[in-house]
Structure formats: structure tokens, C-alpha cells
Amino acid sequence: MRQQYGRRSQVLAGALALFALTIVAQMTRIQNSPEAEIFRQRSEAYAYEYRTFYPNRGEIYDRKGRLLAGEKIVYEVGVDLNIMTDPHAISFAVADTLGMDYDGLMEVIQNPPEGLSYLILADYVEAEQALYLQELKKALNREAPEGSTGGLTGLQFKSHPQRSYPENALASNILGFVNREGLGYFGVEEKYDSLLAGNPVTVLAPTDPNKAFEIPRAPDGTTLILTVDRDLQSAAEDILDNALWEYGARDGLIAIMNPRTGELYAMAVAQRMNLNNFWNYGAVYSNATEFNPAISMTYEPGSVMKILTMAAALDSGTVTPETTYLDTGSILVGGVTVQNWDRNPWGLQNMVGCLQYSLNVCMVTLSTQMGAGTFYDYMDAFGLGHLTGVDLAYEAPGRLKVPGDADWYPVDLGTNAFGQGVAVTPIQMMSAISAVANKGRMVIPHVLYAMVRDGRQHEVPEQFGATPISEQTAATLSEMLAVSLEQESSLALVPGYRVAGKTGTAQIPIDGIYDSAQTNVSFIGWGPVDAPQFMIYVWLERPTTSSWSSETAAPVFSQMAQRAVIILDIPPDSVRPQLASQ
């Protein structure tokens, strides 16, 4: 009997072994068959898919490393209609938390577009609000009776980045903004949009969550470090706001630049917007030129133009500082009589007196003595009518009429010499006059100091423009302008520092006629004279307390300069030589 069971066991074992061999043989055949390769390819295709990964946008910092623009996480709040159980609870919770309309939410949830299974209720929701809704959903799920789901079942949250501006409206005209499609508008955000945005990466990525480690990460966009000083920008905006109120001006700006390097430290304008609420752009501005008038607004500069006229006259050898002329109060040019600002004669004057008393007749005399060819060659060399190359979006070139243009007349040779009949931008005047403060060589204004990419910082090299005048002419004219301010005890003077500069009072043309009661007032100055480290341009539109720049723009310059020397840590004239010798 035992022998019979033994033979049966052997037969069974043999059958099982044969069956196992058959299975192994079949598996081997299948694995090496053409069909297996097809299935293998299909399985790989199901496990991977092409996906595009977008980098985080590069951050923007001021020159001292303080964040001006970055990224924050916000949420899209939606509802999965396939698993939703209580539209009333979801509508109530979302409406109450996000301040939305309950009836509107109920309507869209209960009557979604045909074929839609996921419905977006709100986007760009702040993290705190999304977190509150998530915690509420968890609490309701815990309290739900066994076998049922909570009232917020189906409520979904998807995180994504959004551009954030921690300083809100500060330097808004310099930074620009990023819309919800990720496109930069105005300022740095638009000018350097491709660098900041980085490059999206499209790859074959695994769909298996166990292979998440294989998913690549797109390199972040380039981080930018600006030449802007956050403290100086804030001070400029405060001083400008106070000046607009004190002098009853309609508009205005203050720009601060290093005249030796072109680095823009600050650029304050009257109309600013909270960049975190960029969708209010249309309520703040009526056209694009208002976003940053320092680079986009063209206007007649008035007497600050006399700096360039005098520079051309000195450099061409037409006059020297000691050259005199007899001011009769009026002069005929191109068949038109031009008068001084006060319509009075000033008698015998040298070139310092010409600048000190801002005499129109003197400037017309200089431009006519130089002749149109020489005068306009110098103005062209100073960059009038050309873009400066400032690295901000929407710079305007201005307009300098020249002989041969259909709208140029001989009288323009005279009026252009004192800033009428020529259209410039504030940044254009700063770039042109930087030649006087920078040994005859113009700088290219810029706001980019350095770029950070792949953990390495790359500083932007200094860039310079033309050299319209000699170093000797620049030094001579700077001294003349400093002396003229000191002799008149100008309100632009800065205690402890010698500064050079010039006022500008430009009548505004109304229907082609200059209105003496409507003026743009300005002042441009730089210091310390022996080694300039700042240039400040002040412009106010239609001040009502006084129409003269000497009483409005000049004291604003002094106030701004006194703050600048502290923030920029510039020692007084009496101390600086001692520090240099140590």
C-alpha cells in the first residue's frame, strides 16, 4: 500500500515539474516574441508622458540685497463635480472665506458647462485663506457620520507661484509688474522679461509616482540686483510727495544718478501703483507714458538747457568764462525778438553772470555766434533726439529739430539755446549733462547692477556714451555753475558740500502760445564738485505757489541732496581730503 502511494507521489511530482517547465518555457517564448516587444513599448509609453516644466521667475533685489520682487505661493480653488456631495456647503464656505457671491457660486456649481468634471471657483487665493478652507474641510470630514462624507468633499486646492512685491508701490515705476499670464510689463520686468522668466523645459516624465525622483526641475530664472537704493528711493518719494503738496504742483519727479557710472539710485514719480494689484493699472494711468515720465515724458526743458549751450560755446572756443557782452534785454533772431525772462536789460555781463542770472539774450548770442552747424552738432553729440539706452521699457527719444526739417525756422536757433522748441526727457538731460560732471564723457543711465545665475554673480560692466566736450571744458563749466549758485546764495546750496547746477523755468505752450502763468520748473545739480558722486534732477509741473524754479525746484534739490549724502555715506568737503590721505 505504501509502495502504491510512493509511486503516485512520484508521478504527481513529475507532473508538477513538467508543468513548471512548461510555464518557464512559455514565459521565455513570450518574452522573446515580437508581441512582447510591442507590449513593452506600450507599457513604457503609458509610464511616461511629455510634460513642460516652468521655472520660478528670478527675484529682484536693490543694491544692498533687499527684496523688491519675488514669488509667493497662491492657490486655485476648485470643485470635483464627480465626488461633490453638498454644493450648498461648498458655496457657503468659499463665499464666506473669499468674500464671493454665494448665489453666483451655487448657480455655477449646480449648472456647470456640459461635460465639465472640474470647476474652478477662484484663483490666486492667498495661502492663509486656502489653508483655512483646507482645515475646515478636514474638520467636517472628521465630524461626518460613519459611512458618509463631509460637506466639503470635492473641494480641491492647487498651488502655484505668483509675483509678489513686498514693498507694494515703492519704486513701482522702475520695477514694472507681471500679469497673471506671466508676462512682464513696464520697467525692469518687461526690459529683462526673458532673463527673469527663464527657459521652460519639455521632457518625457514618468507618470508613476514611485519615479518622481526622475522628474527634472527647470532652472530658475535669472535673479537681478539693481543699482537702486531702497532707502534713497523711499526718501525721494517722500520728498516729492511733500513738494507737490507744498508748492501745489500737478505732477513731478526726482531722479538720482551717479554721474560717473550712470547707476540710477532712485527715480521717484508722482503717480505710483501697488504692484500687487496690477489690475488697477487702468484706474491709475490714462496712458503708458504716465507710468514712468522720467524716461517716457517729453517736455521743453527751459533754462537747464543753457548748460549744454554754454558747454558748446566754451568747447568750440566761441567764448571763455571771462568773455563779456552788453545785455540790452532783447535780441533779434530769425526775424523774431527774443527777450530775457524778466524783459529787462542786465548790462555788461561775463559768462558766469550769464548763467547766474539765466539770461536768454546771452544764450541766443552764443548760439548765433556758433552758427547752426556747430550748435546742432554739439546738441546731437549730447544725445538730444536720441535714446539714452536706459534699461527700462518705453523710453522716448524726444525731438531736436535741425535745419532742413520742414518745421525748423531760423528763430529756433535762438530759442533752442535756452530750452524752448526742443523736446527732451528727464533721463535724456541727465545723460547729456553727465558729460559736464564726468570729465567730458557721457554715461549711459542704467538700473541693472548684477545678474545671479546658477549660483554665480555676474556684474554689469560700466558703459559710456559719447564725449561731446573736453575734460577742461567740463571742469571749467562745473566751476562756473558752482560759483553762480554761491554768488546768488541759491536755495539749492547744500551745507558742507559744494554743488554745481542750474535752474530751469519753462513756460508751457497753450494752443501754440507760451503762457507765463503756466510753467514747468526744474533743477539739475551734482556734487561734490571736486568728485561728483550724485546727480539729482527735480521737475515739478505747474506749481501754484510760485512759477519760478529758484523758489520751488531749487530747495527740493537741496533737501534731496542732504538726504542723499547721508544715505550714500558721502563725507563733507572738509573731511573728505583727510580721509583720502589716510
163 shares its domain with 239: no
Q: Is 11 within a domain?
A: no
Q: What is the mean pLDDT of residues 117-133?
A: 91
Q: Please tell me the predicted confidence (pLDDT) of residue 65.
A: 95
DSSP codes joined into one string, 48-116: EEEEEEPPPPPPEE-TTS-EEEEEEEEEEEEEETTT---HHHHHHHHHHHHT--HHHHHHHHHSPPTT-
Q: Is 22 within a domain?
A: no
Q: What is the mean pLDDT of residues 34-57?
A: 63
Q: Please tell me the predicted confidence (pLDDT) of residue 219.
A: 77
Count up the domains in the chain and report the number.
2
Q: Are 177 and 16 in contact (CB under 8 A)?
A: no
234 shares its domain with 366: yes
Q: What is the mean pLDDT of residues 515-541?
A: 92
Q: Read off the C-alpha cell for 496.
A: 558742507
184 shares its domain with 271: no
Domain at 162, CATH number:
3.90.1310.10
Q: What is the mean pLDDT of residues 127-140?
A: 90
User: Per DSSP, what are the bridge partners of residue 582?
Assistant: none
Q: Please tell me the predicted confidence (pLDDT) of residue 315.
A: 97
Q: Is 403 within a domain?
A: yes
Q: What is the mean pLDDT of residues 414-438?
A: 96
221 shares its domain with 235: no
86, 87, 150, 152 from 83: Cα distances, Å:
10, 11, 11, 10
202 shares its domain with 257: no
Per-residue pLDDT band for 117 (boundaries 50, 70, 90) equals confident
Residue that terminates a domain, selected from 181, 204, 226: 226
* Segment (H or E) for 34: helix 34-47
Domain at 503, CATH number:
3.40.710.10
Q: What is the mean pLDDT of residues 358-386?
A: 96
Residue span of the structural domain in which 189 resides? 60-226
Q: Is 20 within a domain?
A: no
Per-residue pLDDT band for 146 (boundaries 50, 70, 90) equals low
Q: Is 467 within a domain?
A: yes
Q: Is 195 within a domain?
A: yes
Distance CA 121, CA 110 (A): 12
CA atoms within 13 A on the CB side of 528: 17
Asked if the model's pLDDT at residue 261 lies above 90, the reply is: yes
What digits encode the pLDDT tens for the residues 214-247? 555 667 889 999 999 999 999 999 999 999 999 9
Q: Please tell me the predicted confidence (pLDDT) of residue 56.
A: 84
Q: SS3 of 544, please?
A: coil
Q: Is 27 within a domain?
A: no
Q: Is 140 within a domain?
A: yes
* Segment (H or E) for 293: helix 293-296
124 shares its domain with 157: yes
Q: Helix 426-437 vs helix 471-487: angle between axes, to the nearest 10 degrees?
A: 100
Q: Please tell me the predicted confidence (pLDDT) of residue 211.
A: 52
394 shares its domain with 378: yes
Mean pLDDT for the chain? 89
Asked if the model's pLDDT at residue 210 lies above 80, the reply is: no
With a pLDDT cut of 70, the percent of the chain lying above it is 86
Residue that terminates a domain, selected from 226, 254, 270: 226
Q: Please tell me the predicted confidence (pLDDT) of residue 116.
A: 85
Residue that terminates a domain, selected from 176, 191, 226: 226
Distance CA 139, CA 515 (A): 71
Per-residue pLDDT band for 208 (boundaries 50, 70, 90) equals low
500 shares its domain with 559: yes
179 shares its domain with 256: no
- What is the model's pTM? 0.85
Asked if the model's pLDDT at residue 424 lies above 70, the reply is: yes
Within 10 Å of residue 241's Cβ, how many Cβ atoms?
Answer: 14
Asked if the model's pLDDT at residue 4 lies above 70, the reply is: no
Q: What is the SS3 string spanning 92-103?
A: HHHHHHHCCCHH
93 shares its domain with 193: yes
283 shares its domain with 266: yes
421 shares its domain with 516: yes
